[in-house]
Amino acid sequence: MDTKLLFQDAAGFQTPMLAVFAVDIAVGKDAEPLVALLTTSDAVADAAAKVLASGEFKATVGETLLLHAPNGLKAERLLVVGLGKAKSLSVDEVRKGAGTAVRAAKPLGVRELAIAFPEDHALDDEHLETLPCTLLSRVLVEGAELAEMDWDTYRSERKDRSVRLLSVVAKEAEKSTRAEIQEGFDAGVIVAAAQNFTRTLVNEPGNVLTPTELGRRAAAMCAEAGLRCEVHSTAKLLELKMGAFAAVAQGSEQPPALIVMTYEPKLGKGEAAAKDAPVLGLVGKGITFDTGGISIKPGDGMEKMKYDMAGAAAMIGAMRAIAQLKPKVKVIGVVCSAENMPDGKAYRPGDVVTAMSGKTIEVINTDAEGRLVLADGLHYAKTLGCTHLIDAATLTGACVVALGIVNVGLFSNDEATWQKFVDATKISGEKFWRLPCTDDYKDQIKSHIADMRNTGANRWGGAISAAMFLKEFVGETPWVHLDIAGCAWHDENKPWIANGPSGVAVRSILEWVRGYEA
């Protein structure tokens, strides 16, 4: 989708469809909705006034109202998009509103769409004052670009419903305001492209996106973005004594891939990096297909296990955005990619493997493979000099049972690092819920034969047991663990986004990284 930013009066803009946002400004639990448009254009307000006065449109999130041949406007259609209650308006509703506009245009055959930029002073009491125009511009573009994607990639008779041109139309403003809107717009294009890159990877079937192919695509992205990239396979795993990672990979004919991506911030002339400057490690689980191995999964729903590399894809997408937005902090991305297959060479329940750190692991269940590859990935990131770590993985079904499909499970061993991530979500709009990983749970992973076991001693608190296992490999290094199993794939279409891969955590990881800028 070609996306443009224009500064002019929306009422006078010629387009097949003009979208404008609306909120409910009514106060009180039982108050009837009172709809207000987020525009100061009298012509746009007049065009929608009659139908808005009827009360049929409530301005709930994702609700739309389509008017044909609106009086006083050059647009052929006026689409009013609800953002919900004004008092609770956040960046997430604006992102969803922009996505709703694009999704509404697609089935109508509208190939060119304009969205009126929400104006700070459209409401009498300035409800938008907590949403700076730079951020509004960014999330609007993100929502629109994410909504444009459909995932019928391999259909031989794909229907072309793409919106080819999106124009964001902002009212002419002071030069400084225009610069802020442009800044947000440019960032939004970059972040959305990175998240869509992640989603494209996750959508690929396992026979296409093997570990080798994931490495190839990561390397190609790095070459284009200006990142340093190394892709290794079995020999490197053996050289590094990554016994846990190698054990998972050994049952497949497809070789594993250890992908290392490095971003070095550019320093000014005569400037040197501080000796105590942080180095951030992004570690992703990249199981391109997960059968469960010898502890094989039930056949029902196994086709979804192509998404078991969504954590790796999130890190690759985040690295792409980092390369383009250029934060002043060093970042190293480590992806551990393999297939988990039940071949005659596969690792077995009861095996004891030795991780790169030297810790020994009793394998109780070969379907708990993600924590094994991450164990070696996290330790390896530390050896590369990372001072702070974050990992993302579709790790446990237990996390989905605990939190459903709304919140990602979040674990951390350090309050300041956790708080930095919470601050990042205020911009990303993504939802996380912190779960404990205190030493009270350590007995769950005790083994009689090895240093630890790869599953909990019982079924209770399975997501916590997995986090406790990973915690053993980060030591005292500040760390955040994201269990994205419930949120990496949308099973249903939403008004603002198609079902399929979500690209969850890309935005939050990016903002977490930017929080460490010097």
SS3 readout for 58-110: CCCCCCEEEEECCCCCCCCEEEEEEEEEHHHCCHHHHHHHHHHHHHHHHHHCC
248, 340 in Cβ contact below 8 A? yes
pLDDT at 394: 98
Question: Is it the case that residue 518 has pLDDT exceeding 80?
Answer: no
Instruction: Count CB-CB contacts under 10 A for residue 374.
Output: 29
Question: Is it the case that residue 126 has pLDDT exceeding 60?
Answer: no
Query: Catalytic site residue 371?
Result: yes
pTM for this prediction: 0.97
Distance CA 195, CA 445 (A): 35
Q: Which of 371, 382, 420, 507 is catalytic?
A: 371
pLDDT at 433: 98
Which pair of tokens denotes residue 408? 């990602």
Q: Which of 58, 241, 297, 328 is catalytic?
A: 297
* Phi, psi (deg, nearest 5) at residue 16: -65, -30
Q: To 10 degrees, the CA torsion angle through 268, 271, 275, 279?
A: 0
DSSP-derived letter for residue 12 is G
Q: Is 258 exposed, middle or buried (0-12, 13-18, 19+ CB in 10 A)?
A: buried
Distance CA 515, CA 518 (A): 9
Distance CA 202, CA 169 (A): 33
Distance CA 478, CA 280 (A): 10
Angle at which helices 211-225 and 175-203 cross, to 10°: 160
Instruction: Count CB-CB contacts under 10 A for residue 285.
Output: 30
Distance CA 81, CA 78 (A): 10
SS3 state at 204:
coil
Query: Catalytic site residue 161?
Result: no
**65 Cβ contact partners less than 8 Å away, ≥ 6 residues apart:** 48, 51, 52, 56, 57, 79, 80
Question: Is it the case that residue 124 has pLDDT exceeding 90?
Answer: no
210, 338 in Cβ contact below 8 A? no
Percentage with pLDDT > 90 across the chain? 93
Q: Residue 358: which of 256, 472, 468, 464 has the closest Cα?
A: 472
Of the candidate ranges 108-117, 157-166, 365-374, the one whose mean pLDDT is the lowest = 157-166
Q: Is 290 exposed, middle or buried (0-12, 13-18, 19+ CB in 10 A)?
A: buried
Q: For 149-197, what is each residue's pLDDT tens digit?
A: 999 999 998 888 899 999 999 998 789 999 999 999 999 999 999 999 9
For the residues 387-397, what does the mean pLDDT come to?
Answer: 98
Q: Residue 201: which of 313, 40, 321 has the closest Cα?
A: 313
